[in-house]
Amino acid sequence: MNQAAYEALLLRLKEYDRHYHLLDEPLISDVDYDRLLHELVEVEKEHPDWIRPDSPTQRVGMTPESGFAKVTHPVAMLSLGNVFNEAEIRDFVHRVQTASAKPVRFVCELKIDGLAIALRYEQGRLVQGATRGDGQTGEEITTNLRTIRAIPLVLQEPLTIEVRGEAYMPRRSFVMVNEERQKAGEALFANPRNAAAGSLRQLDPALVAKRKLAFFAYAMPNPQGLALGQEEALLRMQALGFVVNPYHQVCQTVDEILAYIEQAGKLRETLPYDIDGVVIKVDDFALSEELGYTAKSPRFAVAYKFAAEQATSRLLSIEWGVGRTGVVTPTALIEPVQLAGTTVSRATLHNEDMIREKDVRLGDLVIVQKAGDIIPEIVGPVLDERTGEETVIVFPVDCPACSEALLREEGEAAWRCVNPACPAKAVESLIHFASRQAMNIDGLGEALLENLYQQGLVKTIPDLYHVEREALLTLDRMGEKSVSNLLQAIAASKEQPLDRVIFGLGIRHVGAKAAKTLAVAFGTMEALQEASFDALLAQDEIGPKMAQSIVQFFADPTKLALIEELRACGLTMRQPLIAKPMGDHPFVGKTFVITGTLATLSREQATEKVTSLGAKVMSSVSKKTDFVLAGEEAGSKLKKAQDLLRDDPSLPLRILSEEEFWAMLSS
């Protein structure tokens, strides 16, 4: 094949991709596409100098990743606030309209049930893709995202922008993946969202490519003059080569929004992908900027969540589980029933008080629903179906795992096992310690930890750092490669910062966010151990109940011995230093807009510098803006700042050149 024929084949495959993803009009079968792709691969092997960066063959890396680096989002990826009924929708619309001097348009979009992803392009080329993470920091999964054919590797224009959207698994791909897992004797994915999440965390991009994930673009967090509103942004992203969901609609009244939601509900089961609601956004970016944000979500957009799907089933028995803190929880075992696209045979009953309040009995026909379309729960019994043969559920008085007497503290709903040697608590503590939000030990899942515990290889948390290769090789499904990867992950976890260790210890009432607060405030494990109740209470988000729990934890000799063992294993007991805002620096508490091309640093680096000094970076200029940092080729944002100053010279707004910025920064 000569180079002209190669170029023709490349263009042909790109056209097939465009029709398949952008137009939803496949021109050839998957088999024929794969045959042509294989032909392209063979040609590029012979002529590597012909390969173009946007060739379909460049989507899959040659070697697996060794792990995922952390990525700080220049603009936080906040979650949306939820609304659940007409009254809450009307309240949202009223609040927005009250804040605007002119009529407000809204854009309604389907809420795709997938994973939020941020894509960064420089000069039109994809350079980074990251997960949402905690909203501030995600994981870089660029290599895996390159395998998604709906994500362009090269844009139609050489722009430097960030685009956000939803990576998801189409229903057809979900069926295919679960069929393959069933044949291989592997556990099935519960739903497409879990399957997509599991796929994107694979270290081998070739495996991710086989899962055939897809992507819808829905936002440009910093449109840089490319669009004035959400509808225009969607059209702009589509013109750049992104797949945008076709079912978005502009609405001007509450009634139009409600009609769209009703239509989306009817459409839900016919779509080739899962949706779990509707997103309602203000169409005007300038108004959105004025509306601003709460600590957790924007004020200019909300997500309407579909009502939980319900079904009826027979309650067969109760399984009593013991958590890492000793709380005994009842799980209802029910006759299998289809619910929200999955087969459900287990549902939560929360605690004894909930069972009594709902008057749920063994043998009842019960109503089951998925809370937030995720967790199956028992809503209550169908009283009209009772026969009189149902029996009252008796809560155990002894621990189902170790037979020690259970304790229920005054003012609490939970019964708790207080036996420190309870095997169920030990296993759950191990699972928690190794979990993603704690020490994030890849490959150390629940099933393996339970097996390690049963085999006597790991009984306590420090045992994880002493487990031997030879012992691991004796376990089922643990070959040389799996064991090597696991041991590397365990060794790597020693470098996790203090907040991960604190959370991993499982201190009662201390979640991941509180652990971060404690780690930043006290810096070292020793300082935290010595902290008084009052010193703890003085920290943001640490209340009396949590402070008392922390004091009690560090007063326990067995907990102190555990910490010493972990220190001896080589764990980091220190939090990395974070530059604190300088109280007298001119950027403290100020609002920045960064526009144009900077000569000495990127926008991301500029953002990091000003936010580290206590400033906030926004995407558009308003009367509330304090500084506009203007680089070369600054466009509409610079013009708007100049217009605002011309109309009202008394505004505190100041336009900075790069030289002026550096001068103020060093002050």
Please identify every residue annotated as catalytic.
Answer: 111
What does the alpha-carbon distance between residue 389 and residue 529 come to, in Å, rounded to a whole number?
55
Cα dist. 325→419, 425, 506 in Å? 10, 7, 8
Cβ atoms within 10 Å, residue 550: 23
What does the alpha-carbon distance between residue 207 and residue 382 come to, in Å, rounded to a whole number?
46
Which residues, including other chains, have CB under 8 Å from residue 647's CB and lie 6 or more apart? none
- Specify the DSSP class assigned to residue 199: H
395 within 8 A of 293, measured Cβ to Cβ: no
Task: Quickly tell me which residue has 């108004």 as its tokens.
Answer: 287
What does the alpha-carbon distance between residue 351 and residue 200 come to, in Å, rounded to a whole number?
35
What does the alpha-carbon distance between residue 201 and residue 64 come to, in Å, rounded to a whole number?
12
H-type alpha helices, 308-394: 352-358
What does the alpha-carbon distance between residue 239 and residue 247 come to, in Å, rounded to a whole number?
17
Task: Quickly tell me which residue has 């460049």 as its tokens.
Answer: 58
Helix 603-612 with 658-666: angle, nearest 10 deg: 30
Q: Which residue from 427, 446, 443 is spatially nearest to 478, judged by alpha carbons?
A: 443
Q: Which residue from 166, 191, 159 is spatially nearest to 248, judged by alpha carbons?
A: 166
Biggest alpha carbon–alpha carbon distance for the chain:
83
Looking at the DSSP bridge assignments, the partners of residue 106 are 251, 282
DSSP H or E segment with residue 430: helix 423-434
Torsional class of 440: left (φ above 0), alpha (ψ -120 to 50), beta (otherwise): left
Q: Which residue from 388, 363, 368 is spatially nearest to 380, judged by alpha carbons?
A: 368
What does the alpha-carbon distance between residue 205 and residue 287 come to, in Å, rounded to a whole number?
41
Cα dist. 344→314, 338, 491, 500 in Å? 12, 6, 38, 33
* Token duo for residue 579: 């530059």
Q: Which residue from 336, 332, 324, 373 is spatially nearest to 351, judged by alpha carbons?
A: 332
Q: Which amino acid is at 335?
A: E
Q: Which residue from 213, 220, 210, 218 is spatially nearest to 196, judged by alpha carbons?
A: 213
Cβ atoms within 10 Å, residue 148: 24
Q: Which amino acid is at 280?
A: I
* Token duo for residue 456: 């006597």
Number of H helices and E strands in the chain, helices first, is: 24, 24
**Buried-exposed string 588-624: b where 16+ CB fall within 10 A, e elsewhere:** eebbbbbbbebeeeebbebbbbbbebebebbbbbbee
Q: Which amino acid is at 375?
A: I
541 within 8 A of 510, measured Cβ to Cβ: no
3-state secondary structure of 86: helix
Beta strand pairing status for 106-112 and 275-282? antiparallel
